[in-house]
Amino acid sequence: MNRREFVKKLATASALAAAAAMFPGIVFADQQEQELPAGEITWKKSPCRFCGVGCGLKIGLQKGKAVAVKGDPDSPVNKGLCCVKGYHSVMALYAKDRLTKPLVRKNGKLVETSIDEALDLVASKMQETIDKHGKDSVSMYGSGQWTIPDGYVASKFMKGAIGTNNLEANARLCMASAVTGFLTTFGMDEPMGCYEDIDHADVFVLWGNNMAEMHPVLFSRLLDQRLKRSNVKIIDLATRTTRTSTAADRSILFKPQTDLAIANAICYEIINNGWVNQEFVRKHCAFKKGKTNIGYGLEDNFKFKDEATGIDLDEFKEFLKDYRPDKVEKMSGVSAKDIKYLAAVYGNPNKKVTSFWCMGMNQHTRGTWINNLVYNIHLLVGKISTPGNSPFSLTGQPSACGTVREVGTLTHKLPHGVVMNEKDRKMAAEIWKVPVENIPPKPSLHTVEMFRALDRGEVRFMWIQVTNPMVTMPKLNRYRDGALKEDRFIVVSDVYPTPTTDIADVILPSAMWIEREGMYGNSERRTQHFEQLVDAPGDCMSDTWQIIEVARRMGFEKQFPWSYEEHIPEIWKEYSLFHEGAKHGMAPYQVLKSQPGAQWPYVNGKSTQWRFHGKYDPACKGNTYDFYGKPEGKAWIWARPYEAAPEEPDQEYPFLLNTGRVIEHWHTGSMTRRIPVLHQAVPKAYVELHPDDAKQMGIRNGNQVRLVSRRGKIDLPASVNERGKPVRGHVFVPFFDEGKLINELTLDAFCPISKQPDYKKCAIKIEKV
């Protein structure tokens, strides 16, 4: 099998299990696939740059360049496997249009300048904006692709030194509902389980998650377990037919947004059939209800605060009467028989069940609620915090957990708590050596509102690092136009030109991944260190060091005293002070360097795999369950209703648009589209149509069609009966193609609790071009 045939085969989930044995690495020279070059190759370990799984890689180094990749067999995450992006990952370092020199806009044109001049300009414009308009007129927008040191110094710089909470990260667009779901149910963020749950579970329920393409290495582990154990089943609960559906034992399609009703119907059936784990619920759960009809965040300056009111089991049963399976069948399109089947799976005391989800649940105008409802199911049957019994929210970026959720690079967060809490502010001020008054006690602007404020003129300066919001923001036309308004100053740190660098006044060239040292934190609470393996080209420097250089120019040398040679271990040492203790202790720097990651809480030299159960978690009291994130030590079961999406198909706009990814490309494609084999595999975006809809409109595969929403329009080739198939009345478009900006059509509605936008539901019409 030649390399190109292998890559094509690798793009299917079924090939992944054989990948490590079949092919030891992808090797390249000058962007072309080649045989191994002559000369000795040195192999070094690093976590993968793509997605939140945190696969371990072995990087082949030769003559100062990264020339090969293979999966690390010592990694407990991927056990030697990689997906098609991982095998080609180092090729993303070497495209011809790599940004290597700073660029400054002069007379409307970007021109090369020295790195010192560019950093001086960033610092002076930031200070000038603060002097003219106040601290809250400046902002920083980062990423779940930031390393942990990047995010830590950003938080210290903005909140501790400058004194504004105008710090956000793009994980607000992908993981915020997972955060608020964990916090509202358990009082602490991040999964209680780990990837080893895969080796113990009997049934996997995938809630709106095309895992075969989005998390293919983990999906290969599911497939492997099914091959080894005949009782293992995979259930695909989804809104369109995908490669995951094809590989699953059962595929159940539902109408978008009605996952809320389905989850409640499962709870109804569990209670109605006497499958509740009564002792577990009595000892370890409390019942709550919150506000309803909570809005969608469509208006500027939208405000909402939920309130939890205590209820009992009888009131919860009464609430669920509206969600009998026969009623929910009419709402969701899922048969009462399938709902009862799902309930029986969860309710069977002899089956261990792990639920997986990602953007389908989180990019949702009721994202917090649906997270709560899936936890309800696991709590009612007591299937949680033990091997194989796990509700598990997956992440889409390498450090959305480590850098955003743990470090706290969101407006309301601090590395160990929240800005609203005086004790948390005092702790941060002491560690950061700033007056506690520097840290504002109120959150400022979440991501959507930050870009709205940039449009309105309340924010005048924005520094964007490691992300591409001029592709990813919903209702994109408004926010791009806002960024281009007069008296706005935009700084962008990146590795390649993007639609976001197009709007920049200063572009700072960044060091990428193994061109610098850092740490990522993955979906299973695993912190992974990586060394600098190759030199960064030109004037490229890490985002960490860019921030430190600007901070020092603004007079904050005391807060950022580290030498370049020692800044990463010193930052980690300081950051770890925030998380000392059994509930969230972090592994020491030397431990991270010596092994493929460590899972927090790291206590007495050992990672914690399962939280909230005394058998596995040293923070628990006793040898049983202890949901210590809540004051009473009990997890909350929430009564959360079904509420419709804010924009549904109508006579004028009769179709529903869903957006997402494909296996070959990662997020906006700024890296993967520069890897030839991946770009050639899927060179441009397309729109998936149901074959009956296509036939009715006279559209054939490959025909150009126009999608029109109330906010924008886009022309795309039709895809009929190819990779995926939506249900009738729905379409799907991937968002990796910067030449086809699908987010010009999407709606900036968001979950009022998490403030995370919904990219999965807006109304469009289709015209044949």
Active-site annotation holder among 175, 211, 540, 620: 175
Find, among 149, 152, 153, 151, the residue nearest to 517 by Cα.
Answer: 149
Find, among 9, 661, 712, the residue nearest to 363 by Cα.
Answer: 661
Write the secondary structure of 672-695 as one string of H (helix), E (strand) and C (coil): HHHCHHHHHHCCCCCEEECHHHHH
Strand-pairing partners, residue 61, are: 42, 66
CB 286 within 8 A of CB 313: no
CA distance 368 to 173: 13
Residue type, 97: D
Active-site annotation holder among 359, 450, 512, 586: 359
DSSP states of 44-106 as a string? Answer: EEEE-SSSSS--EEEEEEETTEEEEEEE-TT-TTTTT---HHHHTGGGGG--TT---S-EEEE
Under 8 Å CB-to-CB from 590, ≥6 apart: which residues? Answer: none
Phi, psi of 114 (to 5 degrees): -80, 155
Phi, psi of 278 (to 5 degrees): -60, -45
The residue assigned the tokens 């099914």 is 226
Active-site annotation holder among 140, 174, 450, 554: 174
65: exposed, middle or buried (C-beta count within 10 Å: 0-12, 13-18, 19+)? middle
How is the beta sheet containing 285-289 ordered, strand by strand? Answer: 309-311, 285-289, 635-639
Q: Is 540 a catalytic residue?
A: no
Token pair, residue 599, equals 């899972």
CA distance 423 to 149: 23
CA distance 605 to 623: 20
Of the CA atoms within 13 Å of residue 423, those in its CB half-sphere come to 3
Phi, psi of 153 (to 5 degrees): -70, -30
How much helix, strand and coil, in percent to the nearest 5, is found in the chain?
35, 20, 45
Active-site annotation holder among 297, 396, 402, 482: 396
DSSP states of 144-160 as a string? Answer: TTS-HHHHHHHHIIIII
CA distance 568 to 520: 13
Q: Is 396 a catalytic residue?
A: yes
How large is the angle between the packed helices 543-553 and 148-155, nearest 10 degrees? Answer: 20
CB 493 within 8 A of CB 480: no
Q: Is 48 a catalytic residue?
A: no
Q: Is 175 a catalytic residue?
A: yes
CB 402 within 8 A of CB 155: no
Active-site annotation holder among 145, 225, 257, 397: 397
Residue type, 362: N
Find, among 321, 322, 304, the residue nearest to 368 by Cα.
Answer: 304
CB atoms within 10 A of CB 485: 12
Active-site annotation holder among 58, 85, 156, 383: 85
CA distance 283 to 264: 22
Residue burial 72-105, b: 16+ Cβ < 10 Å; e: rest:
beebbbbbbbbbbbbbbbbbbbbbeebbebbbbe
Q: Is 85 a catalytic residue?
A: yes
Residue numbers annotated as active site: 85, 174-175, 359, 396-397
